[in-house]
């Protein structure tokens, strides 16, 4: 191990990554107005918590070891299979991150800027983050997470006169037909589980603690954002491509007339951190699944560049992106990957554990 | 240290490589007026005159502080492009502090307002108001200060503080237009020929009431009293100045700490709204012998006037058009989702047949006494 991070650092990066997805809606992915959104968020996080229980148990039993290496040590074929699936999913998640970030930045304050600038600057920042490594990126992630909390506090203070609590009403579900699809959609947006699967082996101490922290903090922040959308914009919410950006545009305090500049800054940096963590996840997957330490580093640079190129391709040919996005939005790939990895790890542990009378066999590499 | 020096040098030197527009090539828009006539939209823009800022004083008196430019097009977007072409400047409509819609331009209003937010550089905090003819308002140049928009906005802010109107921001207008009846009431500004010193050509500007928009189009004109009623029902400033007739004289009272509670009910397929307003009152009397003698009478007159203003607004909007201009939908749903479910499919008709009871309780807490 060249570097390790604390579980707080991993959790902060995962929360930042999840909230980034929430704040940068892609076209036609509008959030609804209504109390149902609160219920959808709580239900989806409860579901993801249930799905992650095996992962939580498996991570707890690895005693600092990483799951993919553990599976690979037991069965190379299964390890390689999981490695390939994870790598493909991570590549899609990274390219989607770049796509969201590009679409968001070019639709808001940089509306007349060339796409080339985005790819050059964000690409350079991403490569630099990959070069500096997991530890440095984790520290930066914590700082940006602090920036996000500062932004939220600033916006809340500025929006206090605009908050109209009578827009909240006592109901849990407004439309039964749309409820379940919305839950699944939100569930599928927790690609951060992939980051945890690949990086839990790089966490000092109790790596699994990152999961409940991630779920609780992400859920709380998303509920708070929904509260702001509902009470400030009411029925206008579904018409806004980026409700959080519009909230920051409406935020008016004496010193900073509009704080949408800070908003864009936070999300562009968050996208870099998310893409960097997905790249690190890919690197660890390659190391764990294929045992190729040497190839992992150059491959991670190639991964970062490929994700940017793929996002550029998705921008030019949205027809390519939509079917993959639709498949991922079904929640099946995410649930399948999480359950496959955790059950495979648990099974491997059980088989080996019997031979060793229940002692933990997975040790740090 | 070397790294920091490199970063500072890069920031300072590389910024020149980026595409940029000089400030005097940009029209920093203050007010946008939108009119519609003969199948064409006309956009009138007042923008800051950068050439006037080079004088000895902050505002060069030898050059106009603002420049007005106007152009037409089949759509608002094409009219905006024509304005850029006519002025020879890159226009920034997102910087506009005020957007004035002529009554005739308030058709398909949601789409019309949408132009201002379709640009991501648009300003959702811009104020929106109506005028008989928007160009007339935008063409007025105030002789004091360098930004007409500030003067216009101050006029509306003062009126709102006096409880005579309710200002509407762009995002609020859009939000109201998204509601089931697509209704809102905009402050209505009008110009008059006069000899006022505050404007360059002596034209005066007044806020003469409100413009009722419903079903996404202009419907009717509201009086100042109606707009005052709206201020009571919506958030407003929580304050209202009233001039009342008492014993043959005009007396002024100030209502403050205004609180409004709307309780919906639903019996026999009829929607009912119980409106309760309470406020504190400050009355400036001129009878030193019996300063408290008028208390009860003044309170009664205030209550009557308040009820009259609110009732008038509800009759002109809710009863006449089924228009919900004060977010009644939210209040109904917040109070009882069941009532909302029962009426939502035919909300406008339920509003037209709505029964409302308006009650008011004024409590005089302060007296200002002056020698009569």
Domain count within chain A? 1
Average pLDDT over residues B295-307: 89
pLDDT on residue A359: 42
The lowest-confidence range among A132-146, B73-87, B350-364 is: B73-87
The lowest-confidence range among A64-68, B303-307, B345-349 is: A64-68
Average pLDDT over residues A51-58: 88
pLDDT on residue B372: 38
pLDDT on residue B54: 45
The answer to the question of residue A80 being in a domain is yes
The CATH number covering residue A143 comes to 1.10.4160.10
pLDDT on residue A275: 94
Chain A residues closer than 8 Å to B234 by CB = none
Closest C-alpha among A284, A23, A247, A3 to residue A144: A23
- Best mutation target, B90, B95, B117, B120, to test chain A (most A CBs within 10 A): B120
Chain A residues closer than 8 Å to B334 by CB = 166-170
The CA-atom distances, in angstroms, between B296 and each of B154, B229, B266, B303 are: 35, 22, 35, 11
Q: Report d(CA A259, CA A256) in Å as an integer.
A: 6
Closest C-alpha among B191, B190, B193 to residue B202: B193
DSSP assignment of B141-165: -BSSSS-HHHHHHHHHHHHHHTTS-
CA dihedral A298, A5, A225, A264 (to 10 degrees): -50
Given a cut of 70, is residue B58 above it in pLDDT?
Answer: no
pLDDT on residue B194: 72
Residue entry with tokens 């994870």 = A86
Q: Tell me the two tokens of residue B149.
A: 């928009």
**Which position has the higher pLDDT, B327 or B24?**
B327
Given a cut of 80, is residue A213 above it in pLDDT?
Answer: yes
**Which position has the higher pLDDT, A34 or A299?**
A299
Candidate ranges A151-160, B150-159, B268-277; pick with highest mean pLDDT: B268-277
Q: Report d(CA B247, CA B316) in Å as an integer.
A: 30
The answer to whether the Cα torsion of A191, A193, A196, A199 is positive or negative is negative
For residue B4, how many other CB atoms are within 10 A of its CB? Answer: 8
pLDDT tens per residue across span A278-289: 999 999 999 888
The answer to the question of residue A179 being in a domain is yes
Q: Tell me the two tokens of residue B256.
A: 């403050």
The answer to the question of residue A222 being in a domain is yes
Residue B342: band (very low, low, confident or very high) from pLDDT cuts 50, 70, 90: very high
Average pLDDT over residues B122-148: 79
Given a cut of 90, is residue A352 above it in pLDDT?
Answer: no
Given a cut of 60, is residue B264 above it in pLDDT?
Answer: yes
pLDDT tens per residue across span A151-207: 899 889 888 888 998 889 888 888 888 889 889 988 988 889 999 988 988 888 788
pLDDT on residue A61: 77
CA angle B205, B206, B211 (to 5 degrees): 120
Given a cut of 90, is residue B323 above it in pLDDT?
Answer: yes
CA angle A273, B121, A275 (to 5 degrees): 10
φ and ψ at residue B155, rounded to 5 degrees: -60, -45
Q: What is the extent of the structural domain holding A153?
A: 7-351
Average pLDDT over residues B19-27: 75
What is the average pLDDT score of chain A?
A: 85
Residue entry with tokens 């082996």 = A201
Given a cut of 70, is residue B59 above it in pLDDT?
Answer: no
User: Cβ distance B160 to B224 under 8 Å?
Assistant: no
Mark B115-145 as b/e (b = at least 16 C-beta within 10 Å): bbbeebebbbbbbbbbbbbbbbbbbbbbeee
Average pLDDT over residues A220-235: 93
User: Cβ distance A179 to A270 under 8 Å?
Assistant: no
B337 at interface of A, judged by CB pairs closer than 8 A: yes
Average pLDDT over residues A122-130: 92
The lowest-confidence range among A10-14, A89-93, A110-114 is: A110-114
Q: Report d(CA A133, CA B130) in Å as an integer.
A: 58
Are residues B178 and A239, on separate chains, in Cβ contact within 8 Å? yes
A80 at interface of B, judged by CB pairs closer than 8 A: no
User: Cβ distance B105 to B137 under 8 Å?
Assistant: no
Domains annotated on chain B, with CATH: 21-222 (no CATH), 238-372 (3.30.300.210)
B59 at interface of A, judged by CB pairs closer than 8 A: no
Q: Report d(CA A107, CA B120) in Å as an integer.
A: 6
Specify the 3-state DSSP secondary structure of B58. coil
Query: Do the bridges between strand B98-102 and strand B26-37 make them parallel or antiparallel, or are there none, so unpaired?
Result: parallel
pLDDT on residue A356: 44
CA dihedral B124, B130, B133, B136 (to 10 degrees): -70
Residue B188 to chain A, least CA–CA distance (Å): 23
The answer to the question of residue A359 being in a domain is no
Task: Specify the DSSP class assigned to residue B246.
Answer: E
Task: Specify the DSSP class assigned to residue B271.
Answer: E
The lowest-confidence range among A259-263, A330-334, B295-299, B310-314 is: A259-263
Residue A361: band (very low, low, confident or very high) from pLDDT cuts 50, 70, 90: very low
pLDDT tens per residue across span B212-256: 999 888 999 999 999 999 999 986 667 888 888 887 778 888 888
DSSP assignment of A16-43: HHHHHHHHSPPTT-PPPPSTHHHHHHHH
The answer to the question of residue A333 being in a domain is yes
Task: Specify the DSSP class assigned to residue B316.
Answer: I
Residue B109: band (very low, low, confident or very high) from pLDDT cuts 50, 70, 90: confident
The CA-atom distances, in angstroms, between A103 and each of A239, B138, B225, B262 are: 17, 36, 47, 43
pLDDT on residue B147: 58
pLDDT on residue A364: 41
- Best mutation target, B84, B113, B233, B330, to test chain A (most A CBs within 10 A): B330
Query: Do the bridges between strand B204-214 and strand B217-222 make them parallel or antiparallel, or are there none, so unpaired?
Result: antiparallel
Residue entry with tokens 């006029």 = B155
């Amino acid at each position: 191990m060249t570097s390790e991070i604390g579980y707080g650092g991993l959790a902060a990066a995962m929360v930042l990554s999840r909230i980034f997805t929430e704040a940068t809606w892609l076209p036609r992915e509008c959030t609804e107005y209504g109390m149902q959104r609160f219920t959808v968020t709580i239900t989806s996080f409860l579901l993801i918590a249930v799905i992650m229980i095996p992962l939580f148990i498996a991570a707890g039993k690895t005693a600092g070891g990483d799951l993919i290496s553990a599976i690979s040590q037991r069965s190379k074929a299964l390890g390689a299979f999981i490695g390939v699936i994870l790598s493909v999913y991570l590549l899609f998640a990274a390219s989607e991150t770049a796509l969201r970030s590009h679409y968001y930045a070019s639709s808001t304050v940089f509306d007349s800027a060339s796409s080339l600038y985005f790819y050059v600057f964000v690409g350079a920042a991403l490569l630099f983050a990959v070069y500096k490594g997991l530890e440095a990126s984790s520290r930066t992630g914590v700082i940006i997470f602090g920036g996000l909390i500062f932004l939220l506090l600033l916006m809340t203070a500025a929006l206090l006169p605009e908050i109209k609590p009578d827009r909240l009403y006592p109901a849990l579900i407004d439309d039964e037909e749309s409820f379940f699809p919305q839950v699944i959609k939100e569930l599928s947006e927790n690609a951060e589980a992939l980051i945890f699967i690949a990086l839990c082996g790089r966490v000092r101490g109790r790596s699994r603690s990152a999961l409940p922290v991630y779920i609780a903090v992400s859920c709380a922040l998303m509920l708070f954002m929904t509260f702001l959308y509902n009470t400030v914009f009411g029925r206008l919410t579904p018409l806004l491509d980026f409700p959080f950006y519009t909230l920051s545009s409406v935020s008016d305090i004496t010193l900073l007339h509009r704080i949408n500049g800070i908003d864009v800054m936070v999300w562009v940096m968050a996208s870099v951190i998310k893409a960097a963590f997905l790249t690190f996840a890919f690197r660890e997957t390659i190391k764990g699944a294929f045992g190729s330490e040497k190839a992992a580093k150059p491959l991670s640079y190639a991964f970062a560049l490929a994700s940017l190129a793929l996002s550029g391709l998705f921008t030019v040919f949205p027809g390519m992106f939509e079917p993959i996005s639709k498949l991922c939005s079904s929640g099946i790939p995410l649930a399948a990957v999480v359950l496959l990895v955790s059950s495979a790890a648990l099974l491997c542990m059980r088989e080996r554990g019997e031979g060793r009378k229940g002692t933990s066999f997975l040790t740090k590499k | 240290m070397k790294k920091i020096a490199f970063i500072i040098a890069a920031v300072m030197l590389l910024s020149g490589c980026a595409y940029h527009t000089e400030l005097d090539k940009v029209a920093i828009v203050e007010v946008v007026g939108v009119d519609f006539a003969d199948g064409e939209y006309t956009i009138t823009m007042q923008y800051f005159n950068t050439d006037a800022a080079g004088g000895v004083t902050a505002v060069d008196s030898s050059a106009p502080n603002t420049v007005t430019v106007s152009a037409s097009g089949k759509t608002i977007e094409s009219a905006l492009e024509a304005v850029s072409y006519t002025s020879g400047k890159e226009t920034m409509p997102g910087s506009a502090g005020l957007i004035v819609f002529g009554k005739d331009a308030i058709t398909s209003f949601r789409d019309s307002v949408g132009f201002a937010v379709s640009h991501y550089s648009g300003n959702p905090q811009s104020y929106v108001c109506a005028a008989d003819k928007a160009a007339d308002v935008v063409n007025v140049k105030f002789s004091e200060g360098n930004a007409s928009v500030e003067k216009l906005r101050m006029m509306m802010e003062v009126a709102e503080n006096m409880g005579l109107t309710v200002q509407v921001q762009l995002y609020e207008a859009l939000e109201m237009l998204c509601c089931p009846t697509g209704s809102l009431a905009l402050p209505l500004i009008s110009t008059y020929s006069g000899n006022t010193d505050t404007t360059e050509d002596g034209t005066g500007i007044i806020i003469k009431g409100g413009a009722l928009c419903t079903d996404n189009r202009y419907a009717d004109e509201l009086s100042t009293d109606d707009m005052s009623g709206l201020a009571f029902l919506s958030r407003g400033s929580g304050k209202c100045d009233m001039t009342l007739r008492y014993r043959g004289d005009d007396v002024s009272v100030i209502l403050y700490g205004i609180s409004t509670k709307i309780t919906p009910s639903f019996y026999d397929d009829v929607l009912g709204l119980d409106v309760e307003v309470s406020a504190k009152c400050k009355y400036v009397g001129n009878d030193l012998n019996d300063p408290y003698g008028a208390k009860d009478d003044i309170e009664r007159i205030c209550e009557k006037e308040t009820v009259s203003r609110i009732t008038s607004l509800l009759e002109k909007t809710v009863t006449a058009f089924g228009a919900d201009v004060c977010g009644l939908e939210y209040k109904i749903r917040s109070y009882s989702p069941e009532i909302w479910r029962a009426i939502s499919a035919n909300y406008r008709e339920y509003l037209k047949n709505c029964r409302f009871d308006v009650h008011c309780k004024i409590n005089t807490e302060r007296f200002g006494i002056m020698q009569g």
